[in-house]
Amino acid sequence: MFLTNQDVVELTEWRRALHRHPEISGEEAWTAQTAQALLASSGADRIVGGLGGHGVAGIFEGREPGSTVMFRAELDALPIEEISQAPHRSSIPGKAHLCGHDGHMAILAALARGLSRQRPQRGRAILLFQPAEETGAGAAAVVADPKFREIAPDFVFALHNLPGMKFGKVALIEGPVSCASRGMRIVLTGKTAHASMPETGLSPMNSLAHLMPALTGLGSGGPMDQSFAMVTVTHARIGEPAFGIAPAHGEIWATLRTLTDAGMDGLVAKAERLARDAAHASGLSVEISYNDIFCHCENAPEAVAHLRHALDAEGVPHDRGDLPMRPSEDFGHLGANAPAAMFFLGAGEHHAALHNPDYDFPDDLIGIGARVFMRTLRDLLG
């Protein structure tokens, strides 16, 4: 173990300070400054800020030429009220680190501490603190940033803690590990009428009533194979809260989910056809837009092999777990041009679930995650 007991104490307090000051996607200015200060105090040879928004990358140079290996953590919290009596609970109403990104950042902070004492023998180690993972926008924005070309990796690795799995155990597979998903918003517009004469208007009521079961009927889950598809209606509304008006406006929000990006293309086409046909049948206009777009995450075999070797060397138990998983992650964008792999680190079988108001990252995972990453780093860079 490359961390001392004092390191663990200080990293835990650093994580809890992040937890007390959560910032949601696109607002991570203070969190980014905190990460940048940590990298500076660790002696990073170069720090690149403003990556895809508030992203920060710390570069640690080796003595000899070699590969560029990147490790990624996320900056953002969630717009959810925390329920906790912990001294380090969120100090910002309606916002909290309820996914563990504060813990993931602490694991990268542990790597920075180790690299401050022993640089890689060759190549470059890059610690990326990525913004806006929760909206699906952050990784794509980082990759699109011209500054990313200067730090483009040959390998990229990440982890995510996973409640419901035995503490300290790892789930890891090759191929797809998390789903593609996107939020679809369908807006239907007709013509208002007096509620006593609804026949003189154009109401979206029938179209909405048809679309909710029709959309969910496009995919109800099933085995996590190439045919997996799921549509979840998350929001719907019609008209105004008044008794005297037959409505002209209606909208429905749905999350589309498939195992792969290729599957998403087909599901989108079917959902759009349903929406347009329903609008046409009632004489309505229709607008379709998308938010929170996530591509699927694909673990490259060569990157997985490096992680498996590190897990075995560190004595961390691992298997395929329940992978692939239904939730989405934007890490897939970072692996578009380099072999990439993400593993999932058990937070405990009875631990509060991700995005729950009583969730908190287990501090004892910091050392485990850091050991696996550091072993991977040393195997590749010396």
Low-confidence ranges of the chain (pLDDT < 50): none
Query: Are the beta carbons of 127 and 71 closer than 8 angstroms?
Result: yes
DSSP at 200 = G
Segment (H or E) for 178: strand 175-178
3 state SS of 198: helix
297 φ, ψ (degrees, to nearest 5): -100, 130
3 state SS of 232: strand
- Planar angle of CA 106, 32, 157, nearest 5 degrees: 50
Strands 340-346 and 155-162 come out as parallel
- The pLDDT, as a whole number, for residue 381 is 98
3 state SS of 380: helix
Distance between CA atoms of residues 153 and 67, nearest Å:
8
- The pLDDT, as a whole number, for residue 51 is 98
3 state SS of 303: helix
From residue 203, give the alpha-carbon distance in Å to each of 45, 195, 272, 276, 285.
63, 11, 20, 15, 11
Query: Are the beta carbons of 357 and 80 closer than 8 angstroms?
Result: yes
**Where do we find the tokens 């679309």?**
211
Query: Are the beta carbons of 58 and 39 closer than 8 angstroms?
Result: yes
Distance between CA atoms of residues 132 and 139, nearest Å:
8
CB atoms within 10 A of CB 355: 13
Query: Are the beta carbons of 332 and 139 closer than 8 angstroms?
Result: yes
Query: Are the beta carbons of 332 and 177 closer than 8 angstroms?
Result: no
**Where do we find the tokens 């790597």?**
111
Distance between CA atoms of residues 249 and 281, nearest Å:
16
Q: Which residues contact 379 (CB under 8 A, 6 or more apart)?
A: 306, 309, 310, 313
Distance between CA atoms of residues 35 and 31, nearest Å:
6
- The pLDDT, as a whole number, for residue 337 is 86
pTM (2 d.p.): 0.94
- The pLDDT, as a whole number, for residue 42 is 98
- The pLDDT, as a whole number, for residue 221 is 85
Segment (H or E) for 32: helix 29-41
